[in-house]
Amino acid sequence: MTHDHDHAARFRDRFWLSLALAVPVVAASPMFADLLGYSVPAWAAPVPPVLGTLLYLYGG
């Protein structure tokens, strides 16, 4: 029983961290910005590929 609980807790922690990484990836995405009608600042250009890679490696 303890093993199952630990697995669920690890999954839950991984989910919340992945969600926290996904929000800035989507918000800084040019496609999403065009859809909602705002522009992404130039300094935010590396955010989606860098955080997206971390998201893929950690959450995937």
Sign (positive or negative) of CA dihedral 28, 33, 39, 42: positive
| Number of domains within the chain | 1
Q: What is the mean pLDDT of residues 2-14?
A: 81
Range of the domain at 10: 2-59
User: Taking the model in full, what pTM does it have?
Assistant: 0.77
Q: Does 1 have pLDDT greater than 80? A: no
Which residue type sits at 21?
A: L
Q: Tens digits of per-residue pLDDT, 9-57?
A: 889 999 999 999 999 999 999 999 999 999 999 999 999 999 999 999 9
Could you say which DSSP state residue 37 is in? T
Q: What is the 3-state secondary structure (H, E, C) of the chain?
A: CHHHHHHHHHHHHHHHHHHHHHHHHHHCCHHHHHHHCCCCCHHHCCHHHHHHHHHHHHHC
